[in-house]
Amino acid sequence: MRVVFLAPTFPPEMIQYTRGLAEVGAKVYGIADTRPEALPRELKPYLHDYLHVPRIMDEDDVINRATKWLQGVSVDRVLANWEPLVILAARMRERWGMPGMSSDTVRGFRDKQLMKERVQAAGLRVPKSKRCTSEREIRAAAEEIGYPLIVKPIAGAGSADTYRVGDAKELEKTLQLVRHVPECSCEEYITGEEYTFDTVSIGGKPAYENIASYLPKPIEARSNEWISPVIITVRDMYQPKLKPGVELGRNVLKALGMGDGFTHMEWFLTPKGEAVFGEIGCRPGGAHLVDQMNYTSDIDLFREWARVATWRSFEAHVPRKYNVGIVFKRALGQGRITRITGLNDWLREAGPWCVEEKLFRPGQQRRNWKNTLLSDGHVVVRHPDWDEAYRLSFAAATDITRFAQ
């Protein structure tokens, strides 16, 4: 089994997917714009061969270079797990006559307006939305949809350049912030709780499913620096409250023609108990969500995804043992971390339920909180009881404090 894997070096977790491919017996041909001498040492054992390209986002150039590089090599799969490259992978499959989702199918997972249209055509509830390419069109869409609304990129990821707009005055401020975005989606703001629905699917049917709760909604966390975002996987994901979201997610996969691999969907649960579609990608969730799912069931989804993507088989036993919370901690102030308070007390309280602690230490530079959910490091806790997992997660969010200057 020969597999072309795009961008095995970035984001950093792509090293784990490369490992998974090698461990299930694939020869991995990596393609990226990282220079060969800069490849991470831990990645090299899992690569059979590697092609350095000048710009991984230059799709036509990458396809032409890869075609010459692989002349005479029989390749079985072309894979990508980073959002900006999923269409490139589909185009390469089409160019070389390989199995996998077509570029048109993948575009339905990438273009937020197109995906809503296809999901709505299947009779599923989606927010009202409009595709906009100018300030005039955004203003017109706002008048039609009404406030509050969301303005976000058509092809974005991770809540970047996403804004909640409460009225016409806020809209004018938002227009200045999205001027660099070529296409925007203006959509109805849905009141309610926000969740994920994640799968590893074979032929569009989930072999593994997961739900995680965003606390608070990503749009709120993106708007307030003082918030340390919390995400908790739900051990009892098939409870009656969440059943509408599971059904919605499975139907969305059918509506969009999902094939093999990861999906990451976001959806809303309204106060009336209605599940409303948000958006979906045919790739794994970022921000350590796959690590959370691994801790939930004590499995290795990096390897199981690889088994699905190559051999179309999922072999892991997946009991849902724990609710797993990850807390992305933001420091107070700007510059370098100077001190930490509350960490030792929280670690004693969490005891064995803390499974990761990777907070930035004094001397390290703060990240720009607007550019990354990862903030200034994280802690991960797990517990079989939801209330206790919730309590420990929010104790970390509120009681651990780091100062920067």
Residue 121 lies in a domain: no
Taking the CA atoms of residue 138, residue 140, residue 141 and residue 145 in that order, the dihedral angle to the nearest 10 degrees is: 140
Residues 171 and 83 in one domain: no
Residues 88 and 46 in one domain: yes
Residue 202 lies in a domain: yes
Q: Contact, 324 vs 295, CB < 8 A? A: yes
- Residue ending a domain, choose from 301, 321, 341: 321
Residues 314 and 199 in one domain: yes
Taking the CA atoms of residue 238, residue 222, residue 369 and residue 33 in that order, the dihedral angle to the nearest 10 degrees is: 70
Report d(CA 353, CA 384) in Å as an integer: 10
Which amino acid is located at 107 in the chain?
Answer: R
Residue 115 lies in a domain: no
Residue 396 lies in a domain: yes
Go through 215-230 and write b for each residue having 16 or more CB atoms within 10 A of its CB, e for each that does not.
Answer: bebbbebbeeeebbbb
- Residue ending a domain, choose from 63, 83, 100: 100
Q: Where are the alpha helices (DSSP H) in 24-102?
A: 59-69, 86-96
Residue 181 lies in a domain: yes
Residue 111 lies in a domain: no
The count of domains in the chain is 4
Helices 386-399 and 343-350 sit at what angle, rounded to 10 degrees?
170
What's the CATH number where 55 sits?
Answer: 3.40.50.20
Run of H or E residues at 273: none
Domain that holds residue 368: 322-405
Residue-level pLDDT, tens digit, the chain, 405 residues: 999 999 999 999 999 999 999 999 999 999 999 999 999 999 999 999 999 999 999 999 999 999 999 999 999 999 999 999 999 999 999 999 999 999 999 999 999 999 999 999 999 999 999 999 999 999 999 999 999 999 989 877 666 788 999 999 999 999 999 989 999 999 999 999 999 999 999 999 999 999 999 998 888 887 788 889 999 999 999 999 999 999 999 999 999 999 999 999 999 999 999 999 999 999 999 999 999 999 999 999 999 999 999 999 999 999 999 999 999 999 999 999 999 999 999 999 999 999 999 999 999 999 988 778 888 999 999 999 999 999 999 999 999 998 988
Report d(CA 91, CA 81) in Å as an integer: 15
Residues 244 and 304 in one domain: yes
Report d(CA 80, CA 122) in Å as an integer: 27
Residue 113 lies in a domain: no
pTM of the model: 0.93
Residues 202 and 302 in one domain: yes
Residues 222 and 264 in one domain: yes
Q: Where are the alpha helices (DSSP H) in 181-242?
A: 218-221
Residue 256 lies in a domain: yes
Helices 86-96 and 59-69 sit at what angle, rounded to 10 degrees?
40
